[in-house]
Structure 1
Amino acid sequence: MAKTATVFKANINIADMDRGYYADHALTLAQHPSETNERMMVRLLAFILNASEQLTFARGLSAEGEPELFEQALTGEIDLWVAFGQPDEKWLRKASGRAKQVKLYAYSGRSVAVWWPQHEAALQRYENLAVWEIPEPQVKAMAALVDRTMTLQASISEGQIWLSNATQNVHIEPVLLKAAH
């Protein structure tokens, strides 16, 4: 019998001074049995950093060529495609061709240090692609906030994020590896 996804509820109060965005979001996150708490929290962080009323998580694990987190225009065009991890350059080329803007959030410490130099030159040609690294200690600290029902506050100012619950605060400072042009 196949394992099913674990459902997490997250109520998030976002105060993004950098974008002038202030809102509360009630999210339901499905964690696939193969997904770690660290990866799920990177997905949640990406939502926080790009939050809007139209930003949506895919229904399940994304199939090849489909975004896990995206913002779609009323015309059906994908305005924002968010990817995670260290994907293949071919996959990012498809995303860049289908969306107005693509953001990649890489994590996993040492593997990013190996992956990025191998792909940096090829990814420079995608003008609508931005690549961010979330440092491993910060990803692990975010994973400590995981609970089946989470109430979180997120404050963003000058590129720094403070994510907290009732008892813990985590400081996150994503590293920009490649800016979109």
Structure 2
Amino acid sequence: MAIGAMIHTFTVQLADVDRGVYEELVLRVARHPSETDAYMVTRVLAYLLEYEEGVSFSEGISQTDEPAVLVRDLTGALTAWIEVGAPDAARLHYGSKLAGRVEIYTHRDPVKVLAPLAGKRIHRAESIVLHSFDPGFIDTAVSALERRNTMTLSVTERQLYLELNGASSSSAVHDHPIA
């Protein structure tokens, strides 16, 4: 029998001073059995850091023609393709042709994520940015993860201040152009 997705609930206070976004959110996040906790936490952070009207999680791993997070305008047109982890060049090329903006958020070593992309054909590669966090930041969040989570995320000058279920950590958001 196949194991189903595990649902995690995040009650979030988001204060993104850099973008002027202040929201109280309740997110129900399905974690596929093949998805790691680190990937899921990075996916939640990507959602929050890209939060705007029309942002949503995709259908997930089972939906291979969509990114982890996407943004659609009021007409339903795809405006942002947000990947998580270490997407391959073909996937970025495809996403860049469909959406006006492509971003990548990773919980992995950015050097190892960028290496396979070097020299590959990627549409508008010069406009795609890989975002990473300080070493240990995602691991700290994962260690505090529960099924029901209370989270506060403050962003000031690209510095994240995260409190997850009482555990506090901080990290800069590091930007790495892929081209």
TM-score for both structures, normalised by structure 1: 0.89
Contact kept, 8 Å, 2:145 with 2:164, in 1: the verdict is no
Aligned residues, how many?
A: 178
Q: Deviations over 1:90-133 (max 9, x none)?
A: 11000000001111112223xx4233133244459424422112
* One-letter amino acid of the counterpart of residue 33, structure 2: P
Percent sequence identity over matched residues?
27
Structure 1 pair 149/90, CA: closer, same or farther in 2 (3 Å)? same
- Two-structure CA RMSD over aligned residues (Å): 2.0
* One-letter amino acid of the counterpart of residue 104, structure 1: I
Contact kept, 8 Å, 1:131 with 1:177, in 2: the verdict is yes
2:141 counterpart of 1:161:
no
1:104-115 map, 5 Å: 104-109=104-109, 112-115=110-113
Q: Which runs of 5+ in 1 are unaligned?
A: none
Aligned equivalents of 2:44 and 2:96: distance in 1? 22
TM-score for both structures, normalised by structure 2: 0.90
Q: Deviations over 1:48-79 (max 9, x none)?
A: 11112321111332533212211101222111
Q: Which runs of 5+ in 2 are unaligned?
A: none
Contact kept, 8 Å, 2:57 with 2:69, in 1: the verdict is yes
Q: Residue 174 of structure 1: SS of its match in structure 2?
A: strand
Aligned equivalents of 2:11 and 2:80: distance in 1? 22
> CA shift at 1:170, angstroms?
1.2
Q: Residue 172 of structure 1: SS of its match in structure 2?
A: strand
Q: Residue 145 of structure 2: SS of its match in structure 1?
A: coil
